[in-house]
Structure 1
């Protein structure tokens, strides 16, 4: 554990795998010493779900800001990185939420630049297994919590994330609208198909009637032909045209 006499609104920060703290820094002061006990209360309740989660937990006058990563955001070879949580503790009202979470995002980037997830199995590390990062953590807490340039950097990071989320939401809305247009087209085509089907049924019924009458006429004509042939066949033996030889008998 490291300490510093440099004042910063960021009283405490740490990186943990599940409940195992890998690196931390506590600023000086009574509030900071109280802050160091908060992670033990918060870490067991942090969940690593399908997406990274940003949460704020209140512990008295302290705000515990956490960024919990998700295993689904990493390839299988780096899945252990999805169990990491980045925590920053401040006094209520001392630092804006955007700057605090911007700091945590920058902290994540800096930590992964030092401990590459592709070559580090965070699940196998002991307590303070990344203690060599404590000095970097101390420096970042002061720069991004106390200096104007650092605050602006953290704020820009937070704004970029907001813009990224906004772009994703815009793309999702556009996809929904596009699907809506496609649905309208599908409904129109379905209506046209229904109209065509009705027309086909009407035409089919008309054609069936015409074919039935045609068959009736053909059958009537065939019956007439058969009767005429019978008349001729019998007439040849009985004498045409009146079957006189047969009628005398």
Structure 2
């Protein structure tokens, strides 16, 4: 029996107009290579990273487009050249808009980073590209802007070929998949915290690489010392020193 729970929307009290102003139908977007997240942006509070991490492990490596549905939310993704472009939206948000959004961020990501995404470390592009994700999420969430975009790009005929599956298709036996969303707490005010986290992660990875190079240099130096010592008659380099 597949175990999963319905997506759950957690509301808190607040001014209704504030909720309408801050809520956006595209709740979360992320770009990943396999399960390695390269960039992400959340418009509201939720355990998006936890849920998408489970889904990433189930996505086959071949190029594919798919929508998963469950309860009040839809999860759309495009997988191309082992890079996955994914977003989570409200259930009544048009799929055409969602895939136009994914197509746009895919185009911008490829034009910006090209082949570097194939070897980039986790969150390598987050500081820069999360701002682009935020901008595009707002653009495609806006009905007026989307209408003008759809007139330019035309209808997405390929939508009829993109399957919609229930989320139980990615859950293993006994696995729980639960998404908690709080739309009333907008993350724009805490974007500084996301950037700070990204910088800290980048700094940590930098010093980790430095330590690795220092250790590697010490090992190479020791090997050279041993070789020279053998050639010079011992650890004190007696024969080489006498020749001088």
TM-score of the superposition, structure 1-length normalised?
0.50
Q: Which shows bigger deviation, 58-67 or 97-106?
A: 58-67
CA contact (8 A) 1:38 1:59 kept: no
Distance 2:52 2:153 in 1: 24
The corresponding residue for 1:139 is 135
CA contact (8 A) 1:7 1:142 kept: no
User: For this pair of structures, how many residues does the alignment match?
Assistant: 139
Offset at residue 156 of structure 1 (A):
5.2
TM-score of the superposition, structure 2-length normalised?
0.51
1:56-77 Cα offsets, whole Å, 9 max, x none, are 12344321101011xxxxxxxx
The corresponding residue for 1:67 is 78
Return the structure number with greater strand share: 2
The corresponding residue for 1:105 is 103
Offset at residue 147 of structure 1 (A):
4.4
* Alpha-carbon spacing, 1:155–1:36, altered in 2? closer, same or farther (3 Å): farther
* SS in structure 1 of the partner of residue 26 of structure 2: coil
Distance 1:83 1:47 in 2: 9
Return the structure number with greater helix share: 1
Structure number, greater radius of gyration: 1
* Alpha-carbon spacing, 1:130–1:55, altered in 2? closer, same or farther (3 Å): same
* SS in structure 1 of the partner of residue 75 of structure 2: strand
The CA RMSD over aligned residues, in Å, is: 2.5
CA contact (8 A) 2:96 2:156 kept: no
Considering Cα pairs closer than 8 Å and 6+ residues apart, tell me whether 1 or 2 has the greater RCO. 2
